[in-house]
Amino acid sequence: MDYVGLDPVVGLECVDCKQVLRLSYSELLDRVLDDTPMNCGGCARAVANDWTTVNIVQNIIRKRMRAAHKAGTERWARGLVQ
């Protein structure tokens, strides 16, 4: 799947050993679309990678983008006042 836009690094945490598997958002999408299993590098347990995981990541990205936009708008407004 061709993904156009921000491609942040995603961290998927193992529920057993708490090790974090890091991959790009586009790689996560590819693995979900191809139904490719992912295993933890620490304990070899399967790491969840389904559409629920993608939705959670999308919500985090949206939240951070809104916060960054709000912070930028506030900095811009303060610049007008000074």
Alpha carbon distance 10, 5 (integer Å):
15
Are 48 and 57 in contact by the 8 Å Cβ rule? The answer is: no
Number of Cβ within 10 Å of residue 38's Cβ equals 17
Phi, psi (degrees; rounded to nearest 5) at 41: -75, -20
pTM: 0.63
User: Max Cα separation, the chain?
Assistant: 56
Residue labelled with tokens 């559409």:
51
Among residues 12, 41, 17, the alpha carbon closest in space to that of 27 is found at 12
**pLDDT tens digits, one per residue of 15-72:** 889 888 888 888 888 888 898 888 888 899 888 777 778 888 888 888 888 888 888 8
